[in-house]
Structure 1
Amino acid sequence: MGDVDKKHYTGHRARLRKRFLNDPHNVYAYEMMELLLGYVIRRGDTKPLAKELVERFGGIAGLLDAHPAERNAVPGLGPSTEAFLTLLREIIARYFEEAVKKKTAVTLNDIGQLGRCRLAGCPHEEVWAALLDNGNRLLTFERIHTGSVDQVLISPREAVELTLKYKASALVLLHNHPGGSSRPSTLDTETTNRLRQAMKAVGLRLLDHLILADGQCYSLTTDNLLA
């Protein structure tokens, strides 16, 4: 690459950064991605790759929610860029979790959003637990189990022990259905009711079980499926 070409993309990057800092809302998604890529790809024009990523994944959310294997299939996106995008997504998830913890009382919608931050694009089923105190403040949001592509086992004993560990009084269970319907399976409903009875026996509350799939969040409590 000649000095003229190098000067062009270097000057363009500086101008774009200045425009972004002056008015962050007045830049396109691909321009934001171009700036981000510039922190990892120090030499070279990142604009074509930024446009390719935004177009292929339908925007920044689609890019960050995509499985790493999907992103790695894009020419020009190497291990350093993948690590950077994974770090960015983790920062976003932790930002939202910390913000929810500051609320005096969380809602099921808050917990559903926490789940979306963690599980969008996840290729296998995972079970997460939101532990709440008596005032419905969030104490912690933790993964308690990882399963196969289409099935995950949930241990009532494990969930009860986790609730007691954090001195919580209530739990909201959440898991995902990768590539499937958000409607609960028979196993989901039966396991959840066993879990609710186990928690009730030791004076704890299972408030709900949320299922995430294809951008939708299903509540077993709302559909009166909890005994």
Structure 2
Amino acid sequence: MIEASERQKAVRAGVRLELVTVVWMAAEAVLAIGAGIAARSVLLTAFGFDSVIELVSGGALLWRLSSEARGATSKRMENVERRATGISAVLLVLLCAYVVFVGVAGLVARLRPEGSALGVGVAVAAVVVMPLLAWRKRRANLVIGSPALRADIAETITCAYLAAATLAGAGLNLIAGWWWAEYVAALVLLVFIAMETKEAIESAFTSPPRGEVGPARSARPGGESH
């Protein structure tokens, strides 16, 4: 059984993490999209679009966790959890569609990205920060057990992957002339996103058992296991 004090501590930690997410993603989205457009880099622009998705997701999770931190009733938390999970599911679907579009369009049109020092800097920062942020969120969710937070974690991991793919694509294009590398890497990412999207959709449209969401909820064995 998860003690109420331990859950409250995890929820407060989650609120702080989502605040960091919202601020970070707002800056990252502006910088990445601007650099991507300037460099004609489809994947860098997609990386910025993912930052917008993560920004909205962070806002939804901030609402969900803040509601619990303020002592919302179990019934209220069930409604908030479902809405937050639904928002995350829609955002993941949009992310899947966008990655497919940019990957296929880039390969078909043979779009060759140009170098961008700003874009590389933003991607390097994301590669360092996003895995740490995802790890901290996962630790908190082992106690909270929120499907919405789980989907948000998937989006944070996606952000890190897209940043790494952007760097790898830029490097391979510069060293070997493999302009197509970043598009292939983006399409490979779909395997992970699709699995998390499916789970988020199922969670959004499945009623949680009474008491599963809320301050008095006990953690399931294994936390946020698949």
- TM-score (normalised: structure 1): 0.28
Q: Which has the higher contact order (CA 8 A, sep 6+)?
A: 2
Whose strand proportion is higher, 1 or 2?
A: 1
Structure with larger Rg: 1
Whose helix proportion is higher, 1 or 2?
A: 2
